[in-house]
Chain A
């Protein structure tokens, strides 16, 4: 799931300074689950912004709304015409949600309320940890299902480095387990240490963000879209 954190109130407050009526738009997807962008958080942010405005002697009107997802077009229909009432929107969806909103409503002013952080897992109540970096060529098959790209502080593919001590990573020994210790333990337990006795070759990063902006096409659906377009276009010749 996508994990995001609330931006400092001060920063959001700065974005909306010129406006008197705004919408705070939550998302019912990932950010609801990680307790940063759901209905409840819409309420808290709304209250916080209103209070701050009051202290500054100005009123702020807020339309509170949460839609199931901000990264798919159809859900925006649920907003009806509420968007027309406001001067600007603070979206507390992830970065993708904010941008989808901008694309869908080019005439609206949209500001982010969250810092989108990582792809992770809720390890225990209230704690989310990065598990995946979306590098585009998964190595989990070679590492016992534990990712060194995302979870080693130095993305080392032939670890552990010298900074691994008592199972923890020197970069933050309180909070970061050395992923290479985890991988070692795991492979040992499934009797596949042979997998890391071989050198893991340099990674092809062209499938990661390094290769430029990524896209994925589903050939069936994508072809369908083309078909429609082809149908519309008059046949040549």
Chain B
């Protein structure tokens, strides 16, 4: 148990995904997000893929995010594979028990998917089917353990042998700003212990607090055991900044950012938001222990290229 993550920073490849190779080669990694369509519209998905093609090392494919029904993350991830963008397939435990989770992972692996991000998932109350029954057979940490078990022991969690290796490069999410703050790093450690090779954080605006968090993570040696990526979301307007601050649990936007956007004329706020985003990318690159940036441009995928072109992070290294 847990063998794989100890090797996360060693030279032995786990799944051999592009993302894994980038990390191992010591590059500062870039991931972004690609939300599947609310239906089977492949063309729309391909459009989104085109926006991010070449700008990232891998892209998260969300799994019915905020409990809104969309094309499955497995299906959409397979299309990303076809289109030449490496997917990070997200999987939530809200909708699957341990049987479905393992089976879906095998299916995903067979379709060429090599990165997987394990999440508990948003409560269905927030989505478009609030009367649904949820599953929550396991939480994200237990899901990591299950998938880690398969890749290290070659056995399903129930004990049977697995036919053919199925190794995923495993990721997990972390919220440095949820409460209780003091426990957040312990929970991160649990995720890494459960098998996470890389971590993507919730979007960060409060850099001072994030620095403190990373300091604690490094003190626990977690940056050596997993690749920690800072989550960044460009703000489109002062209104969005306000909304995120007030209504999204576990996100705090410092007043100075809100004020800065408020002080900018409406039509220039988006531009200013991107400027802030670029500054944030620079800041996190210089925080010890940060191995990459996870750029979540919510419904703004077409801006990703433009943002990254203003940094020296493009073109992405070939590994």
Query: Are A and B in contact, CB atoms below 8 Å, in the complex?
Result: yes
Q: Are B142 and A158 in contact (CB under 8 A)?
A: yes
B179 interface neighbour in A155, A156, A157, A160, Cβ under 8 Å: A160
Interface residues on chain A, number (Cβ under 8 Å): 31
A154 interface neighbour in B139, B142, B175, Cβ under 8 Å: B139
From B23-31, B34-42, B182-190, B311-319, the one touching the partner chain is B182-190
Question: Which residues of chain B are near A181, meaning CB under 8 Å?
Answer: 179-180
B115 sits at the interface (CB 8 A):
no
B64 sits at the interface (CB 8 A):
no
Q: State in angstroms the CA–CA spacing of A182 and B126 once bound together.
A: 23
Q: Which of B231-268 contact A (CB under 8 A)?
A: 249-250
Say how far B250's CB is from chain A's closest CB, in angstroms. 5
Interchain Cβ contacts under 8 Å between A and B, 18 examples: A153-B125, A154-B123, A155-B136, A158-B190, A159-B139, A161-B120, A161-B175, A162-B173, A164-B250, A165-B179, A165-B250, A170-B123, A173-B249, A196-B183, A199-B141, A199-B142, A202-B142, A202-B145
A184 sits at the interface (CB 8 A):
yes
A58 sits at the interface (CB 8 A):
no
Kindly supply a per-residue 1/0 record for chain B positions 118-162, scoring 1 wherever the CB is within 8 Å of any chain A CB and 0 otherwise: 001111010000000010111111100110000000000100000
A158 interface neighbour in B121, B139, B180, Cβ under 8 Å: B139
Chain A residue at smallest Cβ distance from B190: A199
Task: List the count of A-B residue pairs having beta carbons below 8 Å apart.
Answer: 93
B180 interface neighbour in A157, A163, A184, Cβ under 8 Å: A184
Question: Which residues of chain B are near A157, meaning CB under 8 Å?
Answer: 139, 142
B65 sits at the interface (CB 8 A):
no
Query: Contacts A162-B249, A164-B249, A202-B142 hold; do A171 and B125 have CB atoms under 8 A apart?
Result: yes
Q: Which of B90-111 contact A (CB under 8 A)?
A: 94, 98
Q: Which of A158-195 contact B (CB under 8 A)?
A: 158-167, 170-173, 178, 181, 184-185
Q: Which of A125-165 contact B (CB under 8 A)?
A: 153-165
Say how far A41's CB is from chain B's closest CB, in angstroms. 28
Residues of A near any B CB (own CB < 8 A)? 153-167, 170-173, 178, 181, 184-185, 196-197, 199-203, 205
Q: Are B190 and A165 in contact (CB under 8 A)?
A: no
Q: State in angstroms the CA–CA spacing of A173 and B178 once bound together.
A: 14
Q: What is the size category of the interface that chain B forms with chain A?
A: 20 to 34
Chain A residue at smallest Cβ distance from B122: A163
B194 sits at the interface (CB 8 A):
yes
B72 sits at the interface (CB 8 A):
no
Q: State in angstroms the CA–CA spacing of A229 and B312 once bound together.
A: 85
Q: A162-B174, A163-B250 are in contact. List 14 more A-B contacts (CB 8 A).
A: A155-B139, A158-B139, A158-B140, A158-B141, A159-B187, A160-B187, A161-B140, A162-B250, A164-B178, A165-B250, A170-B123, A171-B123, A173-B249, A199-B141
Say how far A157's CB is from chain B's closest CB, in angstroms. 6
Question: Which residues of chain B are near A160, meaning CB under 8 Å?
Answer: 178-180, 183, 187
Looking at A162, A167, A197, the one whose CB has the most chain B CB atoms below 10 A away is A162
